Amino acid sequence: MEPLNGNALDSSAIVAVIGAGAMGAGIAQVAAQAGHSVLLYDNRPGAAIEAIEGLDRQLGKSLEKGRITQAQREETRGRLRSVDAFEDLADARLVIEAIVENLDAKRGLFARLEAVCSPECVLASNTSSLSITSIAAGLQRPERFLGVHFFNPAPLMALVEIVSGLATSKAVAASVYDTVKCWGKAPVHARSTPGFIVNRVARPFYAESLRLLQEGAGDCATLDALMRDAGGFRMGAFELTDLIGHDVNYAVTCSVFEAYYGDMRFQPSLIQKELVDAGRLGRKSGQGFYDHGPNVPRPVIHELRSSQRVEGCVVEGDLGIADGLLPRLEAAGIVVTRTHEASAQLPSTRSASGIIRVGDAVLALSDGRLASERAKSDALNNLVVFDLALDYGKATRIAISCCAGITDVAREQAVALLQSAGLVVTPLADLPGLAVLRTVAMLANEAADAVLQGVASAADVDLAMRKGVNYPVGPLAWAERIGLANVLAVLENLQAAYGEARYRPSLLLRRLVAEGGRLHA
């Protein structure tokens, strides 16, 4: 009989969780709160009992905060039972493993489970990095094995990656997907490839900030502020890796890099390696990119200010996604004159965008070229390029880079214009794509490759990045807001600037731009 027979697991079915650490205990809590009797096993004597007692304390805190009732606490606690012997798992309908990330250990575990559990029992691993196909290779019935990757903490994080190996039955994957959805989670389907969805697609978020830091674009606090205040991310890369732990984040990057045979898109950072080598692992060690000791002053975020007064500006051509700046300017009393035909000085290429003229200055949304390179190529004196924002109507900060030879007066005029829109202006060195734009373009590029290679659908990739790592918008939906042709142009300009395969555009982006298609139906 096909495991689960293509249907969601009934709440009367027994779920077993192996591994009573933080992740295993969290998964057990999720299943118990959904109505299942849950067996918790750990090979460390007393660990499962301690984990259940800890869960009960957590439920008590939830009760105090009014999140659950006393009855719900008692019902959930009553469904959790520790077991000491493998044989006690025989009646489980679904077994989820959450032990150490070691291939041999997991293979050995599932070989034992296969000998104990019924043929209809589904076996699942919570692995975040190991190949599902590889773990299942020695099983007699690999079709009933799959990955069920929860994110930490499991009771709070919505995303669960349902990962199919080469032999995983489609019916099994669909059943577990529906089961996890009934548990109140947001499941996504993924194929077993290195990093699955989230740990693969998220790599550029860290990598681009690390590269900008290495190249002197700005300091950690300034770059983090831009990702938050302009990009809409909850944290910048440096504060986030300090929170995750550099040993963990660096190890994941190295794992993905090695799994893709040294593909430069996933190249680890020497800056982060140095922190790991020094034992500066972030919050847990007290020092990482930031000093987390007591009474440490907040780091300074670099800003530009102008005392000039701006009365009006002229917009030539279409600003695209940056058009949201204009209502803010008009609300501040700036007279905005629009010229819908692009200036004769602008090249008639797909990478061209509209410009804003204010006094001697010219402002333009970055297209991935150096400000100085673009100023020379497009014959735009006193050019100031500005960065991407999630929402130009609501952003509180914007980054700019200035071309070589810009006059002080022109720089002041550009800053004054952006200030009048209520934006804090942050300077970056003249580097391709600034901060938010190059990061989002690279996230979208990696996401597009994941779709192209059949790892997941576009909808599931975007859902995974929103629910798994709290991105404000899925990278593919964001790319469509910017315009796929514009994203492609940014990537091509980044690749030209660096001369590296790291920035090669996805074939899917090229195809969709050529066809005029969309990533989402």
Please name the residue that has the structure tokens 């020695």: 138
pLDDT tens-digit readout, 167-176: 999 999 999 9
Residues 518, 393 share a domain = no
Say whether both 442 and 504 belong to one domain.
yes
Decide if 307 is inside a domain.
Answer: no
Model confidence at 347, pLDDT cuts 50, 70, 90, reads very low
Same structural domain, 131 and 277 = no
Kindly state the helix (H) or strand (E) to which residue 181 belongs, with its residue range. Answer: helix 170-182
Q: pLDDT tens-digit profile of 39-53?
A: 999 999 999 999 999
Sheet holding 186-191, edge to edge: 80-83, 37-41, 14-18, 94-97, 122-125, 145-150, 159-164, 186-191
Q: What is the pLDDT of residue 4?
A: 59
CA end-to-end distance (rounded Å), the chain: 36
Which of 403, 427, 451 represents a domain boundary (last residue)?
A: 427
Place of tokens 């070989």: 111
- 262: which residues sit within 8 A by CB, 6+ positions away? none
Residues 463 and 483 in one domain: yes
Same domain, 452 and 413: no
Whether residue 339 is contained in a domain is answered as yes
Query: Which residues fall within 8 angstroms of residue 28, CB to CB, at 6 or more apart?
Result: 15, 17, 20, 38, 40, 51, 52, 55, 80
- By DSSP bridging, strand 94-97 and strand 14-18 are parallel
Q: If you search the block for the tokens 């797909």, which residue do you land on?
A: 350
Token representation of residue 284: 């847990």
Mean pLDDT of the chain: 94
> 248 CB contacts (<8 Å, ≥6 apart)?
none
In CATH, what number is assigned to the domain containing residue 253?
Answer: 1.10.1040.50
| Confidence at residue 199, expressed as pLDDT on a 0 to 100 scale | 95
Residues 327 and 286 in one domain: no
Q: Are residues 51 and 187 in the same domain?
A: yes
Q: Would you say residue 305 lies in a domain?
A: no
Q: Which residue type sits at 475? A: P
C-alpha span between 32 and 14 (Å, rounded): 10
How much is the average pLDDT of 150-170?
Answer: 96
Question: Who contacts 329 (Cβ-Cβ below 8 Å, separation ≥6)?
Answer: 313, 336, 417, 420, 421
Residue 16 lies in a domain: yes
Give the pLDDT confidence score for residue 350 in this predicted structure. 40
Q: Closest Cα to residue 127, out of 11, 259, 302, 281?
A: 259
- HSE-up (13 A, CA, CB side) for residue 405: 9
Q: Which residues constitute the domain of residue 210?
A: 199-217+219-300+436-521
Contacts of 104 (CB under 8 A, 6+ apart): none
| CA quadruple 68, 69, 73, 79: dihedral sign | negative
φ, ψ of residue 243 in degrees (nearest 5):
-75, -45
Which CATH number goes with the domain that contains 81? 3.40.50.720
In degrees and rounded to multiples of 5, residue 219 shows phi and psi of -90, 175
Burial of residue 2 (CB within 10 Å: 0-12, 13-18, 19+) is middle
The yes-or-no verdict on residue 286 having pLDDT over 70 is yes
Q: Both 405 and 459 in a single domain?
A: no
The answer on 258 and 289 residing in a single domain is yes
**pLDDT band per the 50, 70, 90 thresholds, residue 5:** low
Asked if residue 275 and residue 237 are part of one domain, the reply reads yes
Average pLDDT value for residue range 203-231: 97
Task: Look at residue 176 and tell me if it is in a domain.
Answer: yes
Q: Assess whether pLDDT exceeds 90 at residue 7.
A: no
Tokens of 448: 């597009």
Residue 502 · residue 265 · CB < 8 Å: yes
Q: What is the DSSP letter of 473?
A: S
Q: Tell how far CA 53 is from the center of its chain.
A: 33
pLDDT tens column, 77-131: 999 999 999 999 999 999 999 999 999 999 999 999 999 999 999 999 999 989 9
Domain boundary residue, one of 192, 207, 227 = 192
Give me the half-sphere count of Cα atoms (radius 13 Å) on the Cβ side of residue 138: 14
pTM: 0.94
DSSP state of 388: -
306-316 tens-digit pLDDT: 999 999 999 99
Q: What is the pLDDT of residues 455-481, one digit of tens each?
A: 999 999 999 999 999 999 999 999 999
Residue 126 belongs to some domain of the structure: yes
φ, ψ for residue 114, nearest 5 deg: -60, -30
Give the residue numbers annotated as catalytic, written as ranges. 128, 149, 161, 199
Asked if the model's pLDDT at residue 278 lies above 70, the reply is yes
**How far is the C-alpha of 48 from the C-alpha of 52, rounded, in Å?**
6
Q: How many domains does the chain have?
A: 3
Tell me: cis bond preceding 427? Omega within 30 of 0 counts.
Answer: no
Residue 284 covered by a domain? yes
With a cut of 80, say whether residue 303 has pLDDT above it: yes
Residue 503 has pLDDT above 60, yes or no: yes
Task: Output the domain CATH number for residue 397.
Answer: 3.30.750.190
Is 349 among the domain residues?
yes
* Domain identity same for 356 and 276: no
Q: What is the pLDDT of residues 175-204, one digit of tens each?
A: 999 999 999 999 999 999 999 999 999 999
Coarse DSSP helix, strand, coil percentages of the chain, rounded to the nearest 5 percent: 45, 15, 40
Residue 138 to residue 109: CA distance in whole angstroms: 11
pLDDT above 50 (res 426) = yes
3-state secondary structure of 78: helix
280/242 Cα distance (integer angstroms): 9
Note whether 29 and 175 are same-domain residues: yes
Q: What three-state secondary structure class fits 289?
A: coil
In this predicted structure, the answer to whether residue 342 has a pLDDT above a threshold of 90 is no
Inter-axis angle of helices 237-244 and 220-229, to 10 degrees?
100
pLDDT of residue 349: 37
**Cβ-Cβ contacts under 8 Å for 319 (sequence gap 6 or more):** 325, 326, 353, 354, 356, 365
Where among 401, 427, 453 does a domain terminate?
Answer: 427
pLDDT at residue number 341: 56
Share of the chain above pLDDT 90, in %: 93
Q: Are strands 361-365 and 355-358 parallel, antiparallel or unpaired?
A: antiparallel
pLDDT band at residue 6 under the 50/70/90 scheme = low
Task: Kindly report which listed range (9-23, 69-83, 276-290, 344-358) carries the lowest average pLDDT score.
Answer: 344-358
